[in-house]
Structure 1
């Protein structure tokens, strides 16, 4: 009969301390999100008069969201964000994976030299002004392509792909080539389908970056119809006058809506889609992060 090992006082204290610290970290992480959500659903004028709400809305209202969605510009900005996130992520994952597959081939001439050059780019870049001039010469200023083309490739993501591709059995590729497949067919029909964990990981990395990126739209676009929702949120938060903010976003001054309540509602609208998408990729995300960490 198995007897349960008696835990020492030190083990009990250690476990309780771990649980306490983890709960504290969860609270510190989640409470700001809850605070923004609660205040976004509270009457803005009431919150400004009586003070911010910390746990539940005192006067529940959806007027903040109604005011935000009355502005046609936010729907255009949301469409730009969704388009650049989906298109940019698909192109980035495919192109980076294709380059990484080439790097995984031992017969690639100059592979070590390319690795050195790529590693340097992870630590150094040309700077903001040369980048701006480069985009201008390429015709990317005030163009949707500024969200896509410069972000097609990442050497950091290539390293993650490379660690996974090196563990794919060579027999799979050899069998496909015996059947007449070329390198591109092997990559598309064999390598990518068995690499879904790392593909999902890189897609999540780049998708979150694309969704959260406001700086590109702020710096390289002047046309409001090309600016994403994050740049729209930046403009909302940067407004100095509450009434001016309400008028710019809602089209007319609403006495029950304040600049602060509009900030909260816009933040929720901006972050909610990517938060909802994360759980569907989480199981691939954890597995993808462990790629290359252990050798069998």
Structure 2
């Protein structure tokens, strides 16, 4: 039975990892050779040309910078705003706390829809603005519930001691509660960062300036085009000349290289916060 379980887990791991590994191999293989097929787990004609073209494309590098900036600012502000909101919702002395909670939960299941949201974003002056990535996603009700439950599980004596020492609500939150909430903060920060990094839909609706497009939206356009000429139209003269000289780049190889550039940074973050997952999410969501 144990052998069967291990065999099943190995097959599951291979089936999960293979598409990602195959994408890496294709991105490192000569494009024209890839078009012949048969590329599996090792490059047949190894080359860096695909990545060379990607890093010479100013549009992609601009999108990468926007994505990094959006992820950092969006994660920090969202975790801070949600933590403050959650701390208030965790106070038992808050009048109408249950009704506020019901209102918050309703927003998890019912939304205004795309058109009302578009009109709201336009009236707020967030169209074609970097802040359209940040402000609408400041509060996550799901993260608030996890934060709130975690805060309620902290010993009441800690806050009482802080108040005796002269701390108000803000002092208690920032000097006592948040320093003790490392696991749940790390876990929710990772989930929030992944959401910001992978999100592409907002930019496709609210952003028309190419300089504000994140790399995921640009990648979506690349994968949708499937025509190398549409990729080269946005490159500078040096990159275009390099591509014409190489004669080995195809739409598929260029797409895989772009996908790796967009995916690997956030994937590399996971090992550093993996140890917080169980302690942060399970404790924060199951204790009551």
TM-score by length of 2: 0.94
Gaps of 5+ in 1: 1-13
Specify the structure having the higher radius of gyration (Cα): 1
Kindly indicate whether residue 234 of structure 2 is the aligned counterpart of residue 241 of structure 1: no
| 1:41 matched residue in structure 2 | 28
SS of residue paired to 1:257: coil
SS of residue paired to 1:290: helix
Structure 1 residue 18: Cα displacement: 1.0
| 2:42 matched residue in structure 1 | 56
| 2:240 matched residue in structure 1 | 251
Structure 1 residue 65: Cα displacement: 0.4
Is 1:39–1:52's contact at 8 Å kept on the other side of the alignment? no
Gaps of 5+ in 2: none
Q: Encode CA deviations 1:18-77: one digit per residue, 9 max, x unaligned.
A: 1111111101110000000000000111211x2241110011000000011111111111
| 1:84 matched residue in structure 2 | 70
State the alpha-carbon separation in 2 of the partners of residues 62 and 118 from structure 1.
Answer: 50
State the alpha-carbon separation in 2 of the partners of residues 285 and 225 from structure 1.
Answer: 35
State the alpha-carbon separation in 2 of the partners of residues 273 and 65 from structure 1.
Answer: 15
**Structure 1: which 4+ aligned runs deviate by more than 6 Å?**
none
Q: Taking CA–CA contacts closer than 8 Å with sequence separation of 6 or more, which of the two structures ends up with the larger relative contact order?
A: 2
Write the mapping of 1:24-173 to structure 2, written as runs, cut at 5 A.
24-48=11-35, 50-173=36-159
Structure 1 residue 292: Cα displacement: 4.5
Q: Which of 241, 261, 268 is the aligned partner of 2:260?
A: 268
Structure 1 residue 243: Cα displacement: 3.2
Q: Which of 209, 217, 236 is the aligned partner of 1:223?
A: 209
Is 2:88–2:94's contact at 8 Å kept on the other side of the alignment? yes
Structure 1 residue 165: Cα displacement: 0.5
Is 1:246–1:259's contact at 8 Å kept on the other side of the alignment? no
State the alpha-carbon separation in 2 of the partners of residues 78 and 291 from structure 1.
Answer: 35
Structure 1 residue 220: Cα displacement: 0.9
Which shifted more, 151-160 or 236-245? 236-245
Is 2:150–2:285's contact at 8 Å kept on the other side of the alignment? no
| 2:190 matched residue in structure 1 | 204
SS of residue paired to 1:60: coil
State the alpha-carbon separation in 2 of the partners of residues 77 and 215 from structure 1.
Answer: 14
Going from structure 1 to structure 2, the CA distance change for 1:147 and 1:127 (only over 3 Å counts) comes to same
Going from structure 1 to structure 2, the CA distance change for 1:184 and 1:274 (only over 3 Å counts) comes to same
| 1:191 matched residue in structure 2 | 177
Is 1:88–1:210's contact at 8 Å kept on the other side of the alignment? yes
Aligned residues: 282
CA RMSD of aligned residues (A): 1.5
TM-score by length of 1: 0.92
Structure 1 residue 295: Cα displacement: 5.8
Structure 1 residue 205: Cα displacement: 0.8
State the alpha-carbon separation in 1 of the partners of residues 286 and 279 from structure 2.
Answer: 12
Is 2:78–2:138's contact at 8 Å kept on the other side of the alignment? yes
Going from structure 1 to structure 2, the CA distance change for 1:47 and 1:19 (only over 3 Å counts) comes to same
| 1:20 matched residue in structure 2 | 7
State the alpha-carbon separation in 2 of the partners of residues 282 and 110 from structure 1.
Answer: 37
